[in-house]
Structure 1
């Protein structure tokens, strides 16, 4: 079970890192040109960058506290925040009719819920 939690948290962290780097360091217009990035056309660049920074923090919060053994609570708290972020992403993609991405975000949300339950249960 612990291995499954580590693998799931690692995959979520990689996803958060990739999304965070893209949203933080790439111009807002670039993601808008790709499938799933259309929501960026409706919001300002500071909002996109803020989401990117939150995703970078999530990437660190999913792995570092448990890997370093410094505190048991940040990992499940980060996963709960990730669940909220994915719920927002599902609403944004749903408004744009991108139902495939809604399902993908639901999978990410379920993975985060698995990690949250697994880590809170300790």
Structure 2
């Protein structure tokens, strides 16, 4: 179970890192042209960049607290925050044309985060 949680956490951290880097460093206009990025055309550049920084913080928050053993409770807290972020992402993608594949992908990320939160708050807690 611990190994499955670490694998899920690593996958989700990579997703968060890639999404964060993209939103922080790629211009909003270019993001709007990409599949799944259409929503950025209606969002301000600052908002998109802040979302990117949140995703970068999530990537760090999913891994670093457990690795350095400083406040490891932040791992499941970050996972819960990711669940909330994915709910918002699903709503946003649905509103911008019902992009089913992106809603489904966000649902997969949400499920991974829920699994991490459940596992790290519960049976495989770092404090146990």
Same fold (TM over 0.5): yes
> What is the RMSD of the two structures over their aligned residues, measured on CA atoms?
0.6
Structure 2 length normalisation: TM-score? 0.93
**1:35-80 deviation digits (Å, cap 9, x = unpaired):** 0000000010000000000000000000000111112210000000
Partner of 1:59: 59
* Long gaps (5+) in structure 2: none
Partner of 1:10: 10
Instruction: Give me the whole-angstrom Cα distance separating, in 2, the residues matched to 1:67 and 1:2.
Output: 14
Instruction: Give me the whole-angstrom Cα distance separating, in 1, the residues matched to 2:30 and 2:99.
Output: 18
Which runs of 4 or more aligned residues in structure 1 lie more than 2 Å from their structure 2 counterparts after TM superposition?
Answer: none
- 1:9 CA drift (Å): 0.4
Partner of 1:115: 116
- 1:102 CA drift (Å): 0.5
Aligned residue pairs total 122
Instruction: Give me the whole-angstrom Cα distance separating, in 2, the residues matched to 1:2 and 1:31.
Output: 36
- 1:30 CA drift (Å): 1.2
- 1:23 CA drift (Å): 0.3
1:1-122 alignment to 2 at 5 Å? 1-96=1-96, 97-121=98-122, 122=125
User: Is 79-88 or 65-74 further displaced after alignment?
Assistant: 65-74
